Amino acid sequence: MKKLILVLILSLASYIVYRDLSIGTFPVPAQTTAATVQPKPVKIPYRTVTVRPGDTLLSIVEQERNGPIPVPLEQLIRDFERLNPGERAQTLQIGKTYKVPIYR
């Protein structure tokens, strides 16, 4: 009788392990697709500028204003990178045209 109970318990344990490994114990959640979000159009006033040798983003904006910029440098960089997707403010290229934010 002990052998029969042992065989039944081992069979049940084997079945449970097999089921857990093959099917799993938790239901698989349905695959959801993320909705594509359209980027909001940028409403920052800007001017198109072609970079010359020696120009930096800061020097270009200061020349436009004839003085210091009225916003923090971080905001200037953030606005520039929003106006020019895929471009970095630190890597301006000579002869390339960029949209530069205008601050009043």
Per-residue pLDDT reduced to its tens digit, 21-37: 888 766 666 777 776 76
101 closest CA partner among 24, 87, 54? 87
Is pLDDT at 98 greater than 80 in this prediction?
yes
**Token pair for residue 6?**
């042992």
Give me the amino acid identity at 75: Q
The vertex-102 CA angle with 100 and 104, nearest 5°, equals 165
State the Cα–Cα distance between residues 40 and 16, nearest whole angstrom: 52
Beta strands in 15-94 (DSSP E): 46-50
The torsion defined by the Cα of 57, 62, 63 and 65, in degrees rounded to 10, comes to 130
Measured between alpha carbons, how far is residue 40 from residues 12, 45, 56 in Å?
Answer: 58, 15, 27
**Token pair for residue 92?**
């301006």
Global pTM? Answer: 0.59
Q: How is the chain split into domains, by residue range?
A: 46-101
pLDDT of the residue at 39: 67
State the Cα–Cα distance between residues 4 and 99, nearest whole angstrom: 82
Tens digit of pLDDT for each residue in 28-87?
667 777 767 666 665 889 999 999 999 999 999 999 899 999 999 999 999 999 999 999
List the CATH code of the domain at 46-101: 3.10.350.10
